[in-house]
Chains A and B, each alone.
Chain A
Amino acid sequence: MRDELLSIIEKNSKIGLNELAVLLGADEAAVLSEIETLERDGVICGYHTLIDWEKTSIEKVTALIEVRVTPQRGQGFDNIAERIYNYPEVRAVYLISGGYDLLVILEEKSLREISNFVSDKLSTLDSVLSTATHFILKKYKDHGTILAKKREDEREIITP
């Protein structure tokens, strides 16, 4: 049940317990206890909403920042990652294989705020060697969901 439960709520965290139990063919008490276990164990880390901010009047700028750092003895990358992820404007921090070390996703209201963050906060950290900032121009698909206009059902209405 666990895998199927996770795959359902990953796509729809709003789903009610009753409906979830029906879809899984399990009883509500069992589903509830499974969810509680998953929350307690930190498998389920939160319930978020996917918003296409472009359709609102709220300005948002998102940047992907590649960061090269010097790992610290005994700490590896964890320490520096923590220094970065503690900033609330940082949406995500990933350790990456390849040409750089950390990928930082930053969301701000303006380009200026992003450049301030990079120049004042990120670049000044001792172990940061270099940064490269990329701005997101348009989101086509996010969290597995296509943000473009929804497609109509083009099938015939009745087929054998």
Chain B
Amino acid sequence: MTKELSNKVFSIKPSGIRKFFDLVSEMKDVISLGVGEPDFDTPWHIRDEGIFALEKGKTFYTSNSGLKELRQEIANYIKRTQGIDYNPDDEVIVTVGGSEAIDIGIRALVNDGDEVIIPQPSYVSYEPCAILANAKPVIINLKAENEFRLKPEELLNAITDRTKILILPFPNNPTGSIMDKADLEAIAKIIIEKDIYVMSDEIYSELSYKEKHVSIAALAGMKERTILINGFSKAYAMTGWRLGYACAPKEIIKQMTKIHQFAIMCAPTTSQYAAVEALKNGDDDVAMMRQEYNQRRRFLLNAFKEMNIPCFEPYGAFYVFPCIKEFGMTSEEFATRLLQEEKVAAVPGTAFGDSGEGHLRISYAYSLDNLKKAMERLKRFVERLREQA
């Protein structure tokens, strides 16, 4: 073939994580701190419901927007956790993971050249999704001194006449940072004044260790301009089931459903039945996992304190984001040497945006034993670096 492929796709860089992954996969006996998914199995009663759905032959397509029963449970869940009313008939869509919701949400909102504001460090897919939708990504480099929260003045500086969407990724991957109600109120005021949309990616909402997570959609005047994205991967340890959802005003959901309908048809049926069980009877499982994550979080924070490595206290997700600037290396150099010399894999902060430079993402979706071994190795590594300096 001589016909060329899509220039736009060519222009997208492969994920920074990919490069590191290739390096890691050549090595043996690596202790990994690099995953963005829970170490827990999906709770058995949820898996059992998926099995039961298969046994009963529930192997057909569901409606495009998802099982009615599941959309109802999602609406109930948002109502009881956030106090927001979404109509399950036309304000909820079930997607293939939160990732699909991000993609079709952006595509449903932007026209060519519209600007999508993306605070970074953050999950890797916002920027490419915006580019593929012919929008222009506008990056806000969040600051360590603000604990990687989005500040109102940072937002104001990024807004132009072409601004269409603000992506709000909190609790945040990779920093573990959260935005509390007061933080969100300051942002909401600007959003309303400047008349833009918010895509609030709340996939880690259940993993919030200080207070209950607050959605920006719950603030006055915000529901009408927010796409709330969530899913089952993190809260219920269901990453492989590929199931997420979006809640938004019906005009937006209607457009998103069109894209979803033609690209995907519907989310996996087995997963949808399992998810109904998760929302109905999964609260205790979530509480159990949250408690364990929280113990590991405290363990890591203490370990970094003892090693004298600065690390702000993150109150969300399952990541800590320590600062390794004192060693005079880039994140990538540090992560590479840590991998080669001590066989510990952590993701360089720069995989999530330039503003992640000087930091490492350490995941605590691992057993405490695993974390202990990793911290021993890291300590050895850090002490050696300090001796050499």
Interface residues of A (CB under 8 A from B): 4, 7-8, 19, 22-25, 153, 155-160
Contact = CB atoms under 8 A, between A and B. Distances in A.
Contact of B21 (A19, A22, A155, A157): A157
A122 B9 CA distance: 79
A7 B291 contact: yes
Given A4-B291, A7-B291, A153-B39, A158 B24 contact: yes
B278 to A, nearest CB: 20
A22 B306 CA distance: 12
A22 B30 CA distance: 26
A158 B291 contact: no
Given A7-B291, A22-B299, A23-B299, A158 B39 contact: no
Given A160-B15, A160-B17, A155 B39 contact: yes
Contact of B298 (A25, A155, A157, A160): A25
A24 B20 contact: no
Nearest to B306: A22
Nearest to B32: A157
Contacts of B35: 155-159
A147 B295 CA distance: 25
Interface in B3-20: 15, 17, 20
B124 interface: yes
Nearest to B305: A22
Given A4-B291, A8-B295, A23-B298, A157 B351 contact: no
Given A4-B291, A155-B35, A22 B17 contact: no
Given A8-B295, A160-B351, 15 more contacts: A22-B299, A23-B298, A25-B298, A157-B21, A157-B32, A157-B34, A158-B21, A158-B32, A158-B35, A159-B17, A159-B34, A159-B35, A159-B37, A160-B123, A160-B125
Contacts of B36: 159-160
